[in-house]
Structure 1
Amino acid sequence: MTGRARLSRSGQPPKIGIVHLGPGAFFRAFNAPFTQDAMDIAGGDWGILAVSLRSPAARDALSPQGGVYHAVTKQDGGLAPRLIKAVTDVWVAPDDPRAVVEAMADADVRIVSLTITEKGYCKSAETGGLDLDHPDIVHDLASRDQPVSVVGFIVAALMARKTRGAGAFTVLSCDNLPSNGALVRRLVLEFAGQIDSDLTEWIETHATFPSTMVDRITPATTETDLDALAQLTGVQDDAAVFHEDFRQWVIEDSFAAGRPAWDEAGAQIVPSVDAHEMMKLRCLNGTHSMLAYLGYLAGYETIADTVADLAFAALCERAWREEIIPTLPPPEGENVHIYCDTLIARYRDTSIRHRTWQIAMDGSQKLPQRILGTIADNIAAGRATPCLILTVAAWMRYVGGIDEQGAPIDVRDPLAADLRAACDASDGTAELVSELMSVAAIFPAGLRQHDAFRNAVADASDRLIRDGAQATVRSL
């Protein structure tokens, strides 16, 4: 891309109405384009100040371009880039946390949205509430004007708005977490309760925390992608993101101070997102994890590569039909069987190189919501779950850090060291399964204490070790 002009903004940016925490690739491929569409259709001051809580990467890519970038649809016919201008600026919170709090406390900001992944919420795996022993929470309670956690920033900003009579904002979580709005509300109120009961009551009364369900596959951007975009547009865009054409955003209709016309841009505004969220977590995210662990072990680099093997596609379809769909309440306006047909078509899209290794990251955080809850519901209903049990066994083999050819696996997980230590200390499959299932942060008590489940996982693990992932999948 040497010699090409760098992308830059022309004209004035929109006035800020949203502060977004966590400006990673998904935000740039999903939230910002939806907001751009809403402003294009219906106007409004909904510019986005994007704030990274840790890494300067997004700022370093976006700021030299004035916040503008391309969101690029990848499809069989090639690339379809679109210029996104909704992001007005990008900050890095540790550079000046007080400035971030002040920005969020501005009365013109009506929404604070989040894409911070499961790790960013400082949630206790044991209680489901705020982890008061988390180093970030300990810091923020001691230094409330210089927060480092999302919860600390939100409470500091709401406290400032209460003091100034500025009114509350809406906190809009867009992470793949069950009842994400209710979760962040609980965490915020628990944090505020450590400070001031009047503040807690004010937040309960005035702030809103709608739950959401988001869906758009956004694979990691490669240098090849960026070069192809530069060839097409004639400009260098280091902040570009690439995504599939499909997108779905379901949002609970609960806003404290208005919202962009996201519904006119295609979002579904509903009284409750619970059923949609469970459908997505179990049907899409659950089988994504299934394909990630088993596909990686079988030597497949991407989801498209994995489902090109008809046995893996059949495994998905069997899991949906026999183990996942029977656990789902019907979502409003959705046919779950048609939804799953759409999913397999999306998985087969070879233009979306969604790497199995990428999806396999942070499995200790994902497994409970994506897989284990479905297994527990089936056990309660007396249904067998061979596909999902094989997924658990594949995850256990994956976190051991050695693949089927004896090569090391780069396991990226908050508990990676503990999981690997448990694997290394185990003598035999049964002991390994027991050790990993004893991790209370991952496995709920009902599954940890369920002998038939443990034995089934051990049997599946033995098959994986003896026959390999590909042959084991074919046997199902």
Structure 2
Amino acid sequence: MRRLSSATLGTLPADVIRPAYDRAAVRAGVVHLGIGAFHRAHQAAVFDDVLNAGDLRWGIVAASLRSSQVRDQMAPQDGLYAMLVRDGSSEGARIIGAVQRVIVAPEEPQALLNALASPDTHVVTLTITEKGYRLDPATGALIEDDPQLAADLASLARPQTAPGYLVAALAMRKALGLPPFTAISCDNLPHNGQRLRNAVLALARRHDPALAEWIGEEGAFPETMVDRIVPATTLDDVAALAARLDVEDRAMVKTEPFIQWVIEDRFCGPRPKFGAGVQLTAAVAPWEEAKLRLLNGAHSGIAYLGGLAGIDHVHEALALPAIRAFVEALWDEAQTTLSPPPELDLAAYRDALMARFDNPTLRHRTRQIAMDGSQKLPQRLLAPIAARLAAGQGIEALSLAVAAWMRWQAGRDDLGNAHGVDDPLAGAIAARLADADTAEERVAAILRLDAVVPPALAANAAFRMALIRWLAILETQGALAALSTFQERI
């Protein structure tokens, strides 16, 4: 079958929305690191809106720091792909044209550096997942024994990490007399802008203190919060879209109608005139905290408890009254730790989240959400647990979610089905659990992992006992029995 491309764009059905601008006239004002499905359904769609509004300075040069998969999907399609927006029985298709080129960094490191150092580049965005920053989740410090980061600490002649590319490119810009770009982390990290800034400055200082000073004074690293549910695309999705469009699109993404991007209004150069879904604000932290602890915290709880129970998708998990009640209870606990902005109605936000979770057409897989738990739990679950303990409040729902993550490390669900533990610390956790024979020993082993659990929290007796109690039930009776016990306790 023919591929989606500039040549086949005109053959698509009339109800498919196409770019309303001349793609040949677009300049690449954005470089994006980490072109996965989330970027294609979120930031790329936002910049596509800007282009459609007539400002052609905001095309995207995108880069993968590891795999060639997305480049190989998009290059034969001239960077075009379909974004399917699904809500219940309705589905709309839109062709996104904002991505001008995809670079595979390990194959073309200089091409990526040249794009970052281009005078046209004003904004750099990143979706590289929490582990891509090479930052300790607990302290925010550089993980200097990471092999790729260690290589960048030794030399930036051929960068290997996102901070390495940013520092090397900023050095090029300084040498050329160009201003820095605005670097915007779009990952679910607390204080993501500050963390990215700290990583870049720490690496820059090791190579050139004057460069670090220039970046600190002239650069900008806004805090951000991004929100849109983007499930993984399946081969069945690709086949169904091909049947509908009569062209094949191997880079398609599927998502929900909801989109939100809250950005701290701190840019060091030109910025787009953003449209719907984007909010510029003086303070992102309250929005970020609410999203991490309500949406993402609930997602993690659903992923591990639902996954252990053998449930494949979020909407299927929420069809069980016990899981639905658990989510509400987790929200009750997490909500007390928030300081929401006046514009955020938490009751309405919770109702909207539940409706989004219930969307059956997204088919958001629990195993997809379960990835990289060691990087996600500190901000999603452990931070609100610490806050509630400090306030003398209970942690039943939050600690059950953490215990379910611990149980997930065994690599087998309650039905006996094996699953991979996809996590950068999977090996370290498995090594710690190898000689642990009881729930108490397994909890103690994981609590000693201070890259995940802050030592002060690990030493809290109430937290430790709650984890032991829930892990013992999960191991001996399963997730559904644990949820039943939970309902009896609340």
Provide TM-score, normalisation by structure 1.
0.97
Kindly indicate whether the alpha-carbon contact (under 8 Å) linking 1:110 and 1:170 is maintained by their aligned counterparts in 2: yes
Residue type of the alignment partner of 2:195? L
CA distance in 2, matches of 1:430, 1:138: 36
Q: 1:235-283 CA deviation, whole Å, 9 max, x = no partner?
A: 1100001111111110100111112222x23301101100000000000
CA distance in 2, matches of 1:46, 1:265: 16
Counterpart for residue 397 of structure 1: 407
Q: Secondary structure at the match of 1:152?
A: helix
Kindly indicate whether the alpha-carbon contact (under 8 Å) linking 1:140 and 1:147 is maintained by their aligned counterparts in 2: yes
CA distance in 1, matches of 2:350, 2:54: 33
Kindly indicate whether the alpha-carbon contact (under 8 Å) linking 1:44 and 1:260 is maintained by their aligned counterparts in 2: no
Q: Secondary structure at the match of 1:236?
A: coil
2:264 to 252, 272, 275: 252
Please tell me whether residue 193 in structure 1 is matched to residue 205 in structure 2.
yes
Counterpart for residue 15 of structure 2: none
Residue type of the alignment partner of 1:213? M
Q: Secondary structure at the match of 1:393?
A: helix
Counterpart for residue 267 of structure 1: 278
2:338 to 325, 328, 335: 328
Counterpart for residue 308 of structure 2: 297
1:375 to 373, 379, 385: 385
CA distance in 1, matches of 2:23, 2:446: 54
Counterpart for residue 281 of structure 1: 292
- Shift of residue 125, structure 1, vs aligned partner: 4.2
1:207 to 201, 206, 219: 219
Q: 1:87-109 CA deviation, whole Å, 9 max, x = no partner?
A: 00101011121221111111110
CA distance in 1, matches of 2:308, 2:270: 47
Kindly indicate whether the alpha-carbon contact (under 8 Å) linking 1:230 and 1:236 is maintained by their aligned counterparts in 2: yes
2:104 to 92, 106, 112: 92
Map of 1:74-473 to 2, 5 A cutoff?
A: 74-125=86-137, 127-262=139-274, 264-321=275-332, 323-473=333-483
Q: Secondary structure at the match of 1:260?
A: coil
Change (3 A) 1:270 1:369: same
CA distance in 1, matches of 2:292, 2:300: 10
Q: 1:165-210 CA deviation, whole Å, 9 max, x = no partner?
A: 1111100110010011111001111111111221111111111000
CA distance in 2, matches of 1:266, 1:285: 19
Kindly indicate whether the alpha-carbon contact (under 8 Å) linking 1:279 and 1:331 is maintained by their aligned counterparts in 2: no
1:61 to 73, 83, 98: 73
* Higher mean displacement: 407-416 or 439-448: 407-416
Q: Secondary structure at the match of 1:425?
A: coil
Kindly indicate whether the alpha-carbon contact (under 8 Å) linking 1:105 and 1:158 is maintained by their aligned counterparts in 2: yes
Q: 1:401-442 CA deviation, whole Å, 9 max, x = no partner?
A: 122233322111111122223333111111111111111111
Counterpart for residue 7 of structure 1: 4
* Higher mean displacement: 34-43 or 20-29: 34-43
CA distance in 1, matches of 2:142, 2:44: 29
Change (3 A) 1:421 1:7: same
CA distance in 2, matches of 1:354, 1:111: 30
Q: 1:107-162 CA deviation, whole Å, 9 max, x = no partner?
A: 11001110000111011346312223322222123331211111111011111111
Kindly indicate whether the alpha-carbon contact (under 8 Å) linking 1:79 and 1:229 is maintained by their aligned counterparts in 2: no
Counterpart for residue 16 of structure 2: none
CA distance in 2, matches of 1:27, 1:126: 26
Q: Secondary structure at the match of 1:327?
A: coil
1:40 to 52, 61, 73: 52
Q: Secondary structure at the match of 1:290?
A: helix
- Shift of residue 40, structure 1, vs aligned partner: 1.1
Q: Secondary structure at the match of 2:121?
A: coil
Kindly indicate whether the alpha-carbon contact (under 8 Å) linking 1:39 and 1:260 is maintained by their aligned counterparts in 2: no
Change (3 A) 1:240 1:327: same
- Shift of residue 59, structure 1, vs aligned partner: 0.2
Kindly indicate whether the alpha-carbon contact (under 8 Å) linking 2:223 and 2:284 is maintained by their aligned counterparts in 1: yes
Provide structure 1 residue ranges, at least 5 long, that are not aligned to the other structure.
none
Provide TM-score, normalisation by structure 2.
0.94
CA distance in 2, matches of 1:355, 1:96: 33
Q: Structure 1 runs of 4+ off > 6 angstroms? A: none
Kindly indicate whether the alpha-carbon contact (under 8 Å) linking 2:103 and 2:111 is maintained by their aligned counterparts in 1: no
- Shift of residue 472, structure 1, vs aligned partner: 1.7
Residue type of the alignment partner of 1:6? R
CA distance in 2, matches of 1:233, 1:66: 17
CA distance in 2, matches of 1:364, 1:392: 10
Kindly indicate whether the alpha-carbon contact (under 8 Å) linking 2:403 and 2:467 is maintained by their aligned counterparts in 1: yes
Residue type of the alignment partner of 1:293? Y
Query: How many residues matched?
Result: 471
Q: Secondary structure at the match of 1:88?
A: strand
CA distance in 2, matches of 1:19, 1:414: 26
Kindly indicate whether the alpha-carbon contact (under 8 Å) linking 1:312 and 1:474 is maintained by their aligned counterparts in 2: no
Kindly indicate whether the alpha-carbon contact (under 8 Å) linking 2:23 and 2:97 is maintained by their aligned counterparts in 1: no
* Higher mean displacement: 138-147 or 152-161: 138-147
Q: Secondary structure at the match of 2:111?
A: helix
- Shift of residue 42, structure 1, vs aligned partner: 4.3
Provide structure 2 residue ranges, at least 5 long, that are not aligned to the other structure.
8-21
Residue type of the alignment partner of 1:268? Q
Residue type of the alignment partner of 2:6? R
Q: CA RMSD in A?
A: 1.3
* Higher mean displacement: 67-76 or 177-186: 67-76
Residue type of the alignment partner of 1:253? D
**Identity of matched residues, %:** 44
CA distance in 2, matches of 1:285, 1:234: 37
Kindly indicate whether the alpha-carbon contact (under 8 Å) linking 1:400 and 1:424 is maintained by their aligned counterparts in 2: no
- Shift of residue 226, structure 1, vs aligned partner: 1.1
